[in-house]
Amino acid sequence: MDLFYLAISATFVNNILLAQYLGNCPFLGVSKRIETAAGMAAAIIFVTILSAVFTWAVLVYMLRPYGLEFLQTLTFILIIASLVQFVEIILKKKSKVLYDALGVYLALITTNCAVLGVVLLVARKELAFIEMLVFSSTSAVGYALALLLFAGHRERLQISAIPRSMQGTAIALVTAGIMSLAFIGFRGMAN
């Protein structure tokens, strides 16, 4: 049951994007169309889970035993960047279609603070392996959910009558704020 709560919490209550405000840059950058948002969402889910596994292992078996937790931010950035590069190298060779489909988003994940945020939260919460897996995957799903919902909104916004001064990024930020308020409504359902 705890795992269920953990999943609900990560997906909705403490949504990494709309409740914790991490990863806003790609959230605004690639949410103009549902297609691109879906590509980004898939890439984020994949890299977040992979990063969480590796960083958890490094934290548990290397940093903590030697009392080096203060190095975790630096270490995690290094690991995430390396992982993204590693994934990019393999994809380019083994799945050119997927590599082309992800395109520039693959590189953008390196600078996506939502991924770093998730692994840092895993470290802060001192989660066990299974909990880490549930938390990281549902956090990423929460991110994907918010991204896709927002992309849907933006597609509708494109065909709506909006005052010229509010068009574009302005109305997108207002909408993101309202969506964030909606997710705040989940507060109290789980910690």
Partner 1 sequence: MITPIVLLTSIGFVAAVILGIAGRLFYVDEDPRIEAVANLLPGANCGGCGQAGCNATAEAIVQRRLEVNVCVVGGTETAEAIGTLLGYDVTGSEPKLACSTCEGGYRAARKYHYSGLQDCRAALQLYHGFIRCENGCLGLGSCFKACKFSAIRMDNVSGLPVFDPDRCVGCGSCIEACPKGIISLVGEKTKILHWNQYTQCLSPCRQRCPAQINIPKYLAHARRGEYGAALMTIKDNNPLPVATGRVCPELCATECRRTINDDPLAINPVKRFVSDWERSSGKRIPVSVAADTGYKIAVVGGGPSGLSAAYYLRRLGHQVEIFEKMPKLGGMPRYGIPDYRLSDEQLDWDIEGILELGITAHTNVTLGKDFTIQFLRNNGFDAVYLAIGAWFGRMIPLEGKELTGIYSGIDYLRRFHTDEEIIQGKRFVVIGAGNVAMDCARSALRAGASSVLLIFRFSRDLMEANAHEITDAENEGVIMRCLVSPVRFIGENGRLTGIEVQEVTLRHSPTGGLPEVIPVEGSNEIVDCDVVIQAVGQAADLNDIIAADGLAKTRYSTIDADEDTLQTSLPGVFAGGDCYSGPRLMVEAIAAGRYAARSIHYYVTTGAIPPIEYRQREMMAPAMIDSLVNVIPTPTSAIKPVIPVEDRMGTFREVEGTITEQQCQQEANRCLNCGIYCYDQDDLPRDQTRIARSCPNEPHIVEKEEMALPN
Min dist CB 79 to partner 1, Å, is 7
Identity of the residue, 62 or 173, whose beta carbon is nearer to partner 1 in the bound complex? 62
Min dist CB 50 to partner 1, Å, is 13
**CB atoms closer than 10 angstroms to residue 96:** 10
Contacting positions for partner 1 (CB under 8 A): 36, 58, 62-63, 66, 68, 70-71, 74-75, 78-79, 82, 85-86, 89-90, 92-94, 100-105, 158-161
Distance from C-alpha of 120 to C-alpha of 73, rounded to nearest angstrom: 7
Identity of the residue, 26 or 142, whose beta carbon is nearer to partner 1 in the bound complex? 26
**CB atoms closer than 10 angstroms to residue 169:** 10
Contact 6, 13 (CB under 8 A): no
Identity of the residue, 100 or 189, whose beta carbon is nearer to partner 1 in the bound complex? 100
**CB atoms closer than 10 angstroms to residue 20:** 16
Q: Residues with Cβ < 8 Å from 140, sequence gap 6 or more? A: 16, 44, 45, 48, 49, 118
Identity of the residue, 71 or 148, whose beta carbon is nearer to partner 1 in the bound complex? 71
Min dist CB 67 to partner 1, Å, is 8
